[in-house]
Structure 1
Amino acid sequence: MGKKGLFVVIALLAIFSSVLAGCGSGGSSAPAASDTAAQGSPANAGTSSDAGGTAQPKQEVTLKVGAAPVPHAEILEFIKPKLKEEGINLEVVVLDDEGQLNPALQDGQIDANFFQHVPYLDSVSKEKGYDFAVTTKVHVEPIGFYSDKLKSKDELKDGAKIGIPNNPSNEYRALVLLQEQGLIKLKDGLTTYEATPNDIVENPKHLQFVEAEAATLPRALPDLDGAVINTNIVLEANIDPNSALFREDGNSPYANVIVVRKGDENREEIKKLGAALQTPDVKTFIQNKYGVAVVPAF
Structure 2
Amino acid sequence: MKKYLVTFLSVVLITVLAACGSNESASGEEENTGDEQQSITFGATVGPYSDMVTKAIAPLLEEKGYEVSNQEFTDYVQPNKVLDSGDIDANLFQHKIYMEAFAEENDLDLSEVIVVPTAPMGLYSEKFDSVDAIEDGSTIAIANDPTNLARTLGMLEDEGLITISEDVETLTASVNDIAENPKEINFVEVEAAQLPRLVESEDLSAVPGNYALAADMDLLDALALEDMPDDYRNRVVVNTEDLDAQFAKDIKEVVESDEFEAIIDEQFQGFGKPQWMLEE
- Measured against the shorter chain, the TM-score band is 0.7 to 0.9
Change in Cα spacing, 1:181 to 1:128, as seen in structure 2 (3 Å) is: farther
Question: What's the secondary structure of 2:117's corresponding residue?
Answer: strand
- Structure 1 residue 178 displacement after superposition: 0.5
CA–CA distance in 2 between the matches of 1:229 and 1:68?
18
Residues 112 and 260, structure 1, Cα contact 8 Å, conserved in 2: yes
Question: What's the secondary structure of 2:171's corresponding residue?
Answer: coil
Structure 2 residue corresponding to 1:72, chosen from 19, 36, 49: 49
Structure 1 residue corresponding to 2:158, chosen from 161, 164, 180: 180
CA–CA distance in 2 between the matches of 1:68 and 1:189?
36
Structure 2 residue corresponding to 1:143, chosen from 116, 121, 125: 121
- Structure 1 residue 218 displacement after superposition: 0.9
Corresponding position: 1:222 with 2:192: no
CA–CA distance in 1 between the matches of 2:242 and 2:145?
27
CA–CA distance in 2 between the matches of 1:213 and 1:143?
14
Q: Which residue of 2 aligns with 1:257?
A: 235
Structure 2 residue corresponding to 1:113, chosen from 91, 97, 104: 91
What is the total number of aligned residue pairs between the two structures?
Answer: 244
Gaps of 5+ in 2: 1-24, 28-32
Once the two structures are superposed, the pairs formed by residues 88-103 of structure 1 within 5 Å of their partners are: 88-98=66-76, 100-103=78-81
Change in Cα spacing, 1:109 to 1:203, as seen in structure 2 (3 Å) is: farther
CA–CA distance in 1 between the matches of 2:195 and 2:101?
21
**What is the CA deviation profile of residues 64-116 of structure 1, one whole-angstrom value per residue up to 9, with x for unaligned ones?**
22223443222211332332344432221221234543344345443322122
Residues 185 and 200, structure 1, Cα contact 8 Å, conserved in 2: yes
TM-score (norm 2): 0.73
Q: Which residue of 2 aligns with 1:283?
A: 261
Once the two structures are superposed, the pairs formed by residues 186-265 of structure 1 within 5 Å of their partners are: 186-191=164-169, 193-249=171-227, 252-253=229-230, 254-265=232-243
Larger Rg: 1
- Greater CA deviation, 196-205 or 125-134? 125-134
Q: Which amino acid aligns with 1:73?
A: S
CA–CA distance in 1 between the matches of 2:101 and 2:177?
17
Q: Which residue of 2 aligns with 1:8?
A: none
Q: How big is the alpha-carbon RMSD for the aligned residues of Structure 1 and Structure 2?
A: 3.1
CA–CA distance in 2 between the matches of 1:167 and 1:246?
21
Residues 118 and 256, structure 1, Cα contact 8 Å, conserved in 2: yes
Residues 154 and 170, structure 2, Cα contact 8 Å, conserved in 1: no
Gaps of 5+ in 1: 1-48, 52-56
- Structure 1 residue 125 displacement after superposition: 4.8
CA–CA distance in 1 between the matches of 2:132 and 2:48?
31
Per residue, is there more helix in 1 or in 2?
A: 2
- Structure 1 residue 136 displacement after superposition: 0.8
CA–CA distance in 2 between the matches of 1:224 and 1:70?
26
TM-score (norm 1): 0.69
CA–CA distance in 2 between the matches of 1:261 and 1:212?
35
- Structure 1 residue 226 displacement after superposition: 1.4
Change in Cα spacing, 1:150 to 1:129, as seen in structure 2 (3 Å) is: farther
- State, as a whole percentage, how many aligned pairs show the same letter: 33
Corresponding position: 1:84 with 2:62: yes
Residues 287 and 295, structure 1, Cα contact 8 Å, conserved in 2: no
Residues 141 and 204, structure 2, Cα contact 8 Å, conserved in 1: yes
Q: Which amino acid aligns with 1:170?
A: N
Q: Which residue of 1 aligns with 2:247?
A: 269
Change in Cα spacing, 1:213 to 1:111, as seen in structure 2 (3 Å) is: farther
CA–CA distance in 2 between the matches of 1:103 and 1:138?
21
Residues 117 and 271, structure 2, Cα contact 8 Å, conserved in 1: no
CA–CA distance in 1 between the matches of 2:166 and 2:106?
28
Question: What's the secondary structure of 1:145's corresponding residue?
Answer: strand
